[in-house]
Structure 1
Amino acid sequence: MGDVAYDAFLLVSFGGPEGQEDVLPFLENVTRGRGIPRERLETVAEHYRHFGGVSPINAQCRELLQALDLDLPVYWGNRNWHPFLEDTVRQLRDDGVQHALAFVTSPFGSFSSCRQYLDDIAKARANVEGAPQIDKIRHYHDHPGYIAPHADAVRAALAQLPSRMAARLVFTAHSIPTAMNDSSGPDGKRYEAQLRETAALVAAEAAPELPWDLVWQSRSGSPHVPWLEPDVNAHLEHLAEQGVTEVVVSPIGFISDHLEVVWDLDEEARATAARLGLAYVRAATPGTDPRFVAMIRQLVDERVLAHSNVRHALGTVPTWDFCPADCCVSPKRA
């Protein structure tokens, strides 16, 4: 198989509001068709308004694009806010792009973190006559460029605690409905398996002598629908009951400090820890760490140089370049 002739790089992300007036329209985009009550949107809106109505994610995307040094022209499109993916696909077409390679700002496989982005890309292409072909880069949950920044961040966080050897590592990721986890990947539960492998790799590199747990954050939706548990706040309660006095919380499910990180961990979980008397440090996310940026370039080269057998991976949970149509389907369709 020869090299693939990609002629553009496309960053695809979730999107976020950039001012107070954007907050509710953004949340309406996120929840469209899900029947979320207005009062629930108002509650979540307060999280954004706490930060001036600005989600950090768009600025982080701009910083990431600026840090990239690719031989391809770069574009950016969001699922839920400007720049919208469909508008970006139209720009790709107008610029004469024939075959773009998309990097999604989620390393993991599930409906919400992978398949929904594939569906978004397909919908945007269907709505743009003459749209270019767009391929998505594989999952990168165990890539050295993802693991190393998280591991260094855990080390730096541990150094801030009174007694490093007394610490417990708590790795977090966005919770999803258990039905969505069960349908993730061809063999099911791929989302949780990838995250557990990421946690194990980061712990082994950062502090192999310390115990660790994988827990969940940012659940939403009906309380009657089962989601992955335990929640980080409930887990902190459990650790305090066990006599743990120091914790490092590492958001391994996030590539940068999304609103879910700065609100759910820096505000809510930190307050829980303070109430429990736990020494608490939240580890950083990769952001524009040079190793993470280099990882993206490596993933591009890996796909462009299709004849190459080089594949950067530290784990054993498999990843692949192209997802089958029945992979990670919506729980409603499963």
Structure 2
Amino acid sequence: MKNMYVLAVIIVIVFAACSDEKQESNNPLDYPAEIHGTIKDRSGAESRTIGTAWMDGDLIGVTTAAGISDLSFVVTEDRNVKYAYNSEKNMFDVVSDEGEDNNIYFKGPYIMKMTAYYPYVGEKGELAGVINSITTADKQSAETRSEIDYLFAESGGSQKQTKVNFLFTHRMSQLVLSFRAGEGVNLNDITYNLKGVVLEGTFNTATGEAACEKETVPSNIEGSIKKATEMHSSLILFPQKLLSTTVLEVAMGEKTYAATFDADVDMKSGYIYTFTITLAPQAMTIGPANIENWTPSTESGNDHYGVAGEAK
């Protein structure tokens, strides 16, 4: 009788233990990827894109290693899958046509490598490849510069780790012209023409590389700034070497100025290059570049120094 009682207790304990264990499903549809994304600078500090954090509806493209695999038993359609930012959830939701499910699902316990880029182009199932772009003045406004502020990230996930955290970095360079008044000068509305910069280039959505188009003839880009306490203009450009022969022409009121840069500056991906421009009664000087990581602004509506034509 005592033995039967002990056996009954053991059976109860075993069943209780089994009920407490997490039951893992064998159905891949039970493991959808949860896509999250933070924009960071190269130093690791949180950053943001065009003046604010992700906006509702911002689109990124996500591709898995399985999506580009050459193995027939591994390859999937998880190429250039479109995800849209949802501010309420603080994550990205998959974008699917009616009646479709474009979610990325993890099919095993091992980490699947994934890449993501912004802004989204193309369509699901087809790799976006290399994007040809041009950074002309019409792309430098607050409304349009998101089209050329390319971001890239790498991460991964699995059935045991369905939350995917992408840490995006800026892939372009930012050039800032910061104007100062010399003795005897009061700053007013300014227009400028930066001569001898490469505006055409490419962005590789698979690797995150942004580069100037080879053998492209340097061009000019114009901008304007309204009178303010602090006056600066920000340009997003492809990484390139800014030459000492590059000319900056400035007009303020009835005065015009022209000057070249002191030395060649190799502008790299993900960095800001700030030049202090001092306007004196008879001359203009361009100071050496101050180089910083692409870091966040503390002001609403600005991305670090603001956009061309805007000031603090």
TM-score range, shorter chain: under 0.3
Larger radius of gyration: 2
Could you say which structure has the greater relative contact order, defined with CA pairs below 8 angstroms and 6 or more residues apart? 1
**Higher share in strand:** 2
**Higher share in helix:** 1
